[in-house]
Amino acid sequence: MSVPTTSSSLFSRNLRKDYPIAIRGEGCWIVAADGRRYLDASGQAAVVSIGHGVPQIGRAMAEQSNQIAFAHTTQFHSQSAEKLAARVLAIAPTNFREGGRVYFTSGGSEATETAIKLVRQYFLEAKQPARYRIVSRKQSYHGSTLGAMSVSGNVGRRAPYAPMIPEWGHVASCFCYHCPFDKTYPECNLACADDFEVFVQNNDASTVAAFIFEPVVGATLGAASAVDGYTARIGEICKKHGILLIADEVMCGMGRTGKPFACEHWGLEPDIILTGKGIASGYAPLGAVLVAPRVVEMYEQGTAAFMHGFTYQAHPVATAAGNAVFDFLEAHQLLQRVEPMGRELRTALSKLEAHPNVGQVRGLGLLQAVEFVKDKISREPFPKEAGIAEKIRQAALEKNVLTYPSQGTVDGTRGDHVLLAPPFTISAAECQLIGDALQYAVEKVFSV
């Protein structure tokens, strides 16, 4: 007999689950229809940067909508999209500044799809039609559409659709806490980066078009950063073999790690950067593909026409939201808050580190995670069935704190962490509430 589903008309994420109705947002808080207030310690899914309920954003969107809500990009550009593109390029790594361009989408997955096709056509324009493979990393997430899933290495999210997605090659991630080679940095000599080079050598380098990676891996590994030297080595390998480099900063970009783009922590200058989430802080569905001048030039010298498009690309109202979010970030100097508030959050979480089942607290800026282990010495994870991440989420929820739980941290199946990515407006007192809620959760979940 089937278990009854809810009465919702939405095809929800889980048809058996009741979801509270969110009716209002106030800074770092979400208020539900029953009056309950939740502290948004995860910025939902690392989306909300300026906080909830900022009225200026809605006003800017309404103003744009009243002027012109929509004009198709085959016929018009809009002032709001032009303005936002210039602003995004102005904060991008320096190689994007002179002659870079931006392709706006309605979210991160569309940005990945766009990049995959952009790269393929780049090599057609370059008269290198054999290049089509986009190599990516195990334990990564680049989106939920089929093209984006073909590069994603998130085993759990890929599995049901495996027969429908091509396999272009997945190489090791840079993840020292569970190093896939059982080595230690820096003695490892960046074996994880070499894994990419070995793959390219063994799989006909002339078919490889691009390498895509998250400089700070968000949902899949839980705020795991590249180590010093890694991105430089990856850049060298790409250069040596004529491969384009794509940094997926859908989650870690737009200031979340303390720099406008995370690749700037290592001075990396990719050919393409993907972003989303924070670019409109959740006020509108918006993503972006930043294209470096050398890629743009190849198109300019070729057909100049990208064979790709979405009805809602560069949407005037969505990009107006992006501009208003940019204005708010600038007016309140919110990017400058990320590093100090990241330290504040880390201090609030520091007590957790003594717990025998807390393996590591890690992250950059306001993209942090807590990983849970069965054994602190061997770093052995709990079995999947123990459902630790979800139990932690539920326990933290008892304290009205919202976290972003994930499983599969270690190998795609085993391993648990919760991601924390609060709005940049978070206060020290709110950081403490997050620390206290997780302390409570850890004590509750591991006491049995």
Ligand X SMILES: Cc1ncc(COP(=O)(O)O)c(C=O)c1O
Beta strands in 138-286 (DSSP E): 170-171, 208-213, 216-217, 224-225, 244-249, 272-275
CA distance 81 to 60: 13
Report DSSP letters for 350-361, one per residue: GGGGGSTTEEEE
The answer to whether residue 153 forms part of the interface with ligand X (CB under 6 A) is no
Interface positions, 22-51, toward ligand X (CB under 6 A): 45
Q: Rounded to the nearest whole angstrom, what is the least distance from the CB of residue 390 to ligand X in the complex?
A: 18
The answer to whether residue 142 forms part of the interface with ligand X (CB under 6 A) is yes
The answer to whether residue 165 forms part of the interface with ligand X (CB under 6 A) is no
**Phi and psi torsions of 244, nearest 5°:** -80, 150
The answer to whether residue 281 forms part of the interface with ligand X (CB under 6 A) is no
The answer to whether residue 250 forms part of the interface with ligand X (CB under 6 A) is yes
Q: Rounded to the nearest whole angstrom, what is the least distance from the CB of residue 248 to ligand X in the complex?
A: 5
Least Cα distance to 265 among 279, 250, 247 occurs for: 247
Please identify the residue of the shown chain whose CB is closest to the bound ligand X. Answer: 108
Interface positions, 419-448, toward ligand X (CB under 6 A): none
Three-state SS for 216?
A: strand
Q: Which is nearer to ligand X, 121 or 140 (CB)?
A: 140
Give the count of residues interacting with ligand X (CB under 6 A): 16
Cα–chain center distance at 169:
21
The one among 29, 122, 123, 141 contacting ligand X by CB under 6 A? 141
Count how many Cα atoms sit within 13 Å of the Cα of residue 34 in the half-sphere of its side chain.
Answer: 5
Binding part of the chain for ligand X, among 6-14, 126-134, 135-143, 257-265 by CB under 6 A, reads 135-143
- Confirm if 49 and 254 have CB atoms less than 8 A apart: yes
The answer to whether residue 154 forms part of the interface with ligand X (CB under 6 A) is no
The answer to whether residue 282 forms part of the interface with ligand X (CB under 6 A) is no
CA distance 236 to 330: 35
Q: Which is nearer to ligand X, 57 or 288 (CB)?
A: 288
Q: Which is nearer to ligand X, 143 or 235 (CB)?
A: 143
The answer to whether residue 170 forms part of the interface with ligand X (CB under 6 A) is no
Q: How do 244-249 and 208-213 pair as beta strands?
A: parallel
Q: Which residues bind ligand X (CB under 6 A)?
A: 45, 107-109, 112, 141-143, 214, 218-219, 248, 250-251, 276, 287
